[in-house]
């Protein structure tokens, strides 16, 4: 969006910022039932010094948001390493973990030397009353050799406690890979596991209204019950899809000079979003509006604001 369009759009709805951005901003974290249960699993696992924990879920269910929320809320005695891109072989993986934990290894340090360096550092952290935690996002992309190397690193322990804890945030593909015989040792080391679920139908309104409030909205509800049902049905309760559809529905409403979101705006958003389909019972009605209405509305408004400055 152009700056002029963006400011006018936000002003139209009384917003300070975009409420449905896809960036995992923890100030927009909404504690769903599934999210609270996953958080409790993490807290129990960390309190009990368990070695490896796995949080899985379909694309868009909030794994990255939960990961960042965990990292933000950890007590000061836990030193963390965050691995957002786990498609690393063992040597660069250990190098990244060492750097994240405060060490300064040489760029070409050998894998064995990195392992010894990390083991010494974990022992030193424990002696200083600290613990180490590695959080791996998109863990389903980690090569088998790296998963095994990470498991071996968690073997560093005292008689009572693991010196390194690992949380794997992954899509269900990791669950399938863990069934392979050569990964059975890693599978057996996962002491706590939880699968994130989509939002329940009765949570959709709370989720959307919470994000609107965090973005500065203070008016009457933008989404009526019929609109909320349609959003939930089309998104399947997946937060990321809800964000996409809600954002496009707001654009469609703005294009018509309206502030309240109607089912027609949601249908336009659905038609404009690849991979999202109208529920069968709504399909015939939805074809009347067509996804092109959203595109035309936005193009018209962009043309108006850009044209005015020419």
Alpha-carbon distance of 129 to 123, in angstroms, equals 10
Q: What is the pLDDT of residue 287?
A: 43
Look at residue 218 in the predicted model and tell me its pLDDT: 94
d(CA 113, CA 105): 9
Torsion of CA 91, 95, 100, 101, to 10 degrees: 100
**35 near 200, Cβ under 8 Å?**
no
Q: What is the pLDDT of residue 64?
A: 96
Token look-up 């010196």 returns: 163
pLDDT tens for the 310 residues of the chain, in order? 556 667 889 999 999 999 999 999 999 999 999 999 999 999 999 988 888 999 999 999 999 999 999 999 999 999 999 999 999 999 999 999 999 999 999 999 999 999 999 999 999 999 999 999 999 999 999 999 999 999 999 998 776 778 999 999 999 999 999 999 999 999 999 999 999 999 998 999 999 999 999 999 999 999 999 999 999 999 999 999 999 999 999 999 999 999 899 999 999 999 999 888 776 654 444 444 444 445 445 544 444 443 433 3
Q: What is the pLDDT of residue 74?
A: 93
Q: What pTM does this model have?
A: 0.87
Cβ within 8 Å of residue 218, ≥6 positions away: 14
Determine how many CB atoms are found less than 10 A away from the CB of residue 123. 13
* Strand arrangement, sheet containing 164-170: 78-83, 131-136, 164-170, 52-56, 190-195
Q: What is the pLDDT of residue 288?
A: 40
Calculate helix-pair angle for 239-255, 292-308, nearest 10 degrees: 60
């Amino acid at each position: 969006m152009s700056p002029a369009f963006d400011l006018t759009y936000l002003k139209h709805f009384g917003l300070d910022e975009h409420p449905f951005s896809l960036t995992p901003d923890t100030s927009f974290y909404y504690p769903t039932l599934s999210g609270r249960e996953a958080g409790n699993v993490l807290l129990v696992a960390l309190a009990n010094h368990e070695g490896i924990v796995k949080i899985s879920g379909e694309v868009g269910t909030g794994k990255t948001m939960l990961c960042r929320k965990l990292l933000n809320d950890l007590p000061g005695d836990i030193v963390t390493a965050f691995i957002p891109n786990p498609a690393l072989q063992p040597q660069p993986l250990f190098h990244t973990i060492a750097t994240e934990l405060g060490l300064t290894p040489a760029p070409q340090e050998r894998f064995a030397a990195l392992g010894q360096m990390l083991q010494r550092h974990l022992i030193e952290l424990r002696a200083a009353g600290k613990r180490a935690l590695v959080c791996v996002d998109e863990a389903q992309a980690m090569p088998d050799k790296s998963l095994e190397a990470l498991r071996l690193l968690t073997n560093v322990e005292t008689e009572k406690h693991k010196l390194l804890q690992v949380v794997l945030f992954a899509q269900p593909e990791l669950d399938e890979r863990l069934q392979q015989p050569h990964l059975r040792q890693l599978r057996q080391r996962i002491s706590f596991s939880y699968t994130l679920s989509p939002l329940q139908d009765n949570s959709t309104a709370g989720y959307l209204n919470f994000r609107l409030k965090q973005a500065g909205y203070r008016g009457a509800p933008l989404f009526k019950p019929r609109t909320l049902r349609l959003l939930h049905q089309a998104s399947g309760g997946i937060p990321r899809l809800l964000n996409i559809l809600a954002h496009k529905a707001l654009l469609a409403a703005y294009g018509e000079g309206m502030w309240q979101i109607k089912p027609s705006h949601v249908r336009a958003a659905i038609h404009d979003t690849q991979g999202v389909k109208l529920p069968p019972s709504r399909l015939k009605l939805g074809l009347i509006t067509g996804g092109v209405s959203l595109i035309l509305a936005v193009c018209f408004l962009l043309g108006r604001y850009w044209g005015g400055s020419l």
